Structure 1
């Protein structure tokens, strides 16, 4: 294939004032690299020098064709002008990669031109490799000549360093826990990329105890390490922002608002300036607070109470929610425009019961944490460990509080362990306590849920029916229609039926309790 080189005329270097070395003519003097055609870009003010270099190359390498390409630049240090004209040059150039191999000479031209060359070749607007040349060293007779290939996969050591750094950031987001769950690991990998390259809001969804707060803290640490921010993490529990002081807590308050000394407040939004604002339980915000907060998020400006002047605060927003925000928005309980602003990047953290392959790694993590807090090394007897892991991984173990339940369970066992050993009897007692606690809590939650729909009629529902009806209500409240709820509830049996009228089946079930779809 023919070698084609594209490069600028060196208005200073090609005059030979530096060691009498001229980078453009020297391209054609290398035995190992033959230049078949040289496309020399020049400004019309330097036409004389361009023709001189053309003649010199004809003497050095008569078989090299030199084509002078006029490219006038008003300011060769203006990035927009240089990139725009080189881009137009690349668009109009008839690249023929089947017959020719293209190279770009980086040594000549301004630093701005070198950056533009790199960007155009890296994006493949110019399908070329880069050539870097230099004058011969004190002990060399031959000028320096290097070809730079932008295919990083060829630089294994460099690629391995990038991969290692990426793994370190992912481990940081996982808290050093060797997780194996594919869904969770995929979420962490995506968050690592987003936190490193974007400052758009991140929405973390999931049941209570799935680790949203810990992940928000780790995202903040990662962004600090990547120098994407300098401020601190401000954690706001939105469930507490419903009292008379809610606005002052979030947006601040001037002394003039109450006229009393000591009533000034800076506000959590201002404290988050330059850092991360984590809105935990954002689904608990009142409609009025949602409206005011939306403006502050979109503009970075807000009015403290008692102030006539806006103040600014720029922060990276992370929001957490336990409930489905889309269902809340559909029900009129959450502003759709606020949801759209928060939902740029959305991740649903899987519950503990869906991450059974990670339970053992988290067990080791909790034991290490207890050892640091208690100052005593604590471990399981082998039979006790097997019993606890079997219980923790059992599909019947729902872990309603997820990692909060799990962490609390391990802390209790470690605190009560005699001589630092957790026995089988202790594990049996802990399992009994957890199951009793969950059963009681589930029963109360189910009754409250049914009573919320049926009122006093809930007391007439048998305990046997109460559990099933409560689950049906949960599914109905998170479904868009009666048919969608039926498909979810009858997902297994519907595949075995010749006719699949899920909506009718669900309607008949609800009618047993005097309920209709409108009740939800």
Structure 2
């Protein structure tokens, strides 16, 4: 199967306009020249024109049909306000590329940068380089004064394979790394799975307009990530509207429909004025529906229609409202299980599940804990206009506890944020000390474990560093748990009964105390030392 060549070009309002009647065929016109090349067939020409030049665009299209009948010309109305306004032109081209149905398996794409303003040419180059237009080649046509057919001219094709241009490749790599850093709020994360997830989100966020689904436990950072995706897309011209954030768990009863889709005046008792609704407010922007699994089935049906048709009916209205928004959905529920239970529409899940990422819990990214702790402390200092820091021993102690099995972090980053706020508020003279940390550890333990007595064991409290360095991780973890049991037991026999609770049942005479005493002696420890800790 032969691949097709598709060219994007701007109508040349000056050079394409040259020549009248039969004389136009003795005049070089760049758009006509591009389709007259013997060794380069243009199968489809997507010709951008401003509304005021529609007649010229039609005339050029008719002339192309005469000299290259195999070329399918598609006239595309360019609605930028000012062809010399960089942001205006870039945004329009970006939106066009984002909504274009590219088929790279069957077609090759070319950008003709001969025509249009210099701003337009620069924007097309940048979008090609960034692969927003998946075009590996740029086209430049030129007149040939020595040619027998002056209208034909010559064509040059520039290969934009970034691997051949080290400087450009480095620039693209830096831009991508910068975007990923932005999505992570500048936190230098080390968790490989999380970094890979962010890298994929960055690629999709920049170029795609399809719905995205962010899954993960409460407090994993879905709202913050949705906001940063919006800010990244906005900075690249990917969206021109607002970010509308909605917690679907707050949409209850009859007001849910009105809140999402709006209503007309008099739609129901109390509707004294019209309301646009969240979907309309998100036009040209992003709608973030957190806890989407909490939506009712009726709202789900209307949402699906709005996503697919880009229009919906406000409550009480028979006139459709148009809104072109990108949806980001968040949930801490298993929506597939909700489909089985009849609580979530299968067709809606299929529509929003194209891009699906699960954000890991804080405990699943424990190697990133210190970086996130530092970030939360910087945020507190910035928002409260104070200088705050950890004492070295205090930070070491908090990290040791925070990364232990006792630290549950059930609310994930919300727990961490609250913990930092408490310690920073209670610190003296901008320094979080060991006493403040110990008090916070007790507070967190009580919150996570209730009234159950818990002990966060630091082995260095009981054996010296030199001996600790000779122990395998296996021995360290085992000893740590044994000490923890001893600390929570009334006496040696009580601790032995807990530790040897299974093996002791198979013995005619139990020796729990002796076995525990022998074990502790291996490390130079006595129960009496632990008893008084």
Fold conserved between structures, TM > 0.5: yes
Structure 2 residue aligned with 1:80: 72
Q: What is residue 357 of structure 2 aligned with on the other side?
A: 347
What CA distance in whole angstroms lies between the structure 1 residues aligned with 2:417 and 2:70? 58
Asked if 1:277 is matched to 2:287, the reply is yes
C-alpha contact 2:406 2:445 (8 A) present in aligned 1: no
Name the CA distance, whole Å, in 2 between partners of 1:244 and 1:366.
39
Q: Per-residue displacement from partner, 1:437-474 (whole Å, max 9, x unpaired)?
A: 112399xxxxxxxxxxxxxxxxxxxxxxxxxxxxxxxx
- What is the distance in 2 between the residues matched to 1:324 and 1:220? 25
State the Cα distance separating 1:166 from its structure 2 match: 0.8
The counterpart of 1:196, out of the listed 192, 195, 206, is 206
Q: Give the counterpart of 1:424 among 412, 424, 434.
A: 434
- Residue 410 of structure 1: CA displacement? 0.6
Kept in 2: contact 1:353–1:395 (CA 8 A) = no
| Superposed displacement of residue 154, structure 1 | 2.0
Q: CA deviation at 1:77?
A: 10
Q: Does 1:154 align with 2:164?
A: yes
3-state SS, counterpart of residue 356 of structure 2: strand
Q: Please list, as runs of the form range in 1=range in 2, the aligned pairs for 1:109-508 lying within 5 A after superposition.
A: 148-258=158-268, 262-440=272-450
CA 1:181–1:307 in 2, change beyond 3 Å: closer, same or farther?
Answer: same
Give 1:169 deviation, angstroms: 1.1
Check 1:259–1:383 CA distance in 2 against 1; reply closer, same or farther (3 A cut). closer
SS at match of 1:360: helix
User: How many angstroms apart in 2 are the aligned matches of 1:395 and 1:408?
Assistant: 20
SS at match of 1:256: coil
- Secondary structure in structure 1 of the residue aligned to 2:314: coil
Contact 2:137 2:158 in 1 (8 A): no
> What is the DSSP-based 3-state SS (H/G/I as helix, E as strand, rest coil) of the residue aligned with 1:258?
coil
Inter-CA distance 358–409: structure 2 relative to 1 (3 Å threshold)? same
Shift of 1:40: 4.9
Gaps of 5+ in 2: 1-18, 20-24, 42-63, 75-105, 117-123, 146-153, 453-533
Q: Is the 8 A contact 1:231 1:273 kept in 2?
A: yes
The residue number in structure 1 matching 2:500 is none
Does structure 2 retain, via aligned residues, the 8 Å contact 1:254–1:304? yes
Per the alignment, in what secondary structure is the counterpart of residue 436 of structure 1?
A: helix
Residues 90-118 of structure 1: per-residue CA shift (max 9 Å, x gap): x9xxxxxxxxxxxx9x99999xxxx9xxx
Between Structure 1 and Structure 2, how many residues are aligned?
Answer: 352
How far apart, in 2, do the equivalents of 1:225 and 1:171 lie? 14
Q: Secondary structure at the match of 1:172?
A: helix
CA distance in 2, matches of 1:438, 1:327: 28
CA 1:311–1:128: 2 relative to 1, 3 Å? closer
Determine the structure 1 residue equivalent to 2:483.
Answer: none
Secondary structure (helix, strand or coil) at the match of 1:398 reads coil
Shift of 1:293: 2.1
- Structure 1 residues 285 and 391: CA distance shift in structure 2, 3 A: same
Distance 2:115 2:243 in 1: 46
Match of 1:487 in 2: none
1:151 Cα offset (Å): 3.1
Q: CA deviation at 1:288?
A: 2.5
Q: Deviations over 1:459-492 (max 9, x none)?
A: xxxxxxxxxxxxxxxxxxxxxxxxxxxxxxxxxx
Classify 1:129/1:415 alpha carbon distance in 2 versus 1 (closer, same or farther; 3 Å).
closer
Unmatched 5+ stretches in structure 1: 1-11, 24-38, 44-71, 83-90, 92-103, 137-143, 443-520
Measured on the aligned residues, the alpha-carbon RMSD in Å equals 4.4
Structure-1 separation of matches of 2:268 and 2:437: 57
Give how far 1:80 is off.
Answer: 2.7
Give me the whole-angstrom Cα distance separating, in 2, the residues matched to 1:441 and 1:285.
37
Write the distance in 2 (CA, Å) between the matches of 1:182 and 1:441.
37
- How big is the shift at 1:150? 3.9
| CA deviation map 1:271-306 (0-9, x unaligned) | 111111111001111222222222222222211112
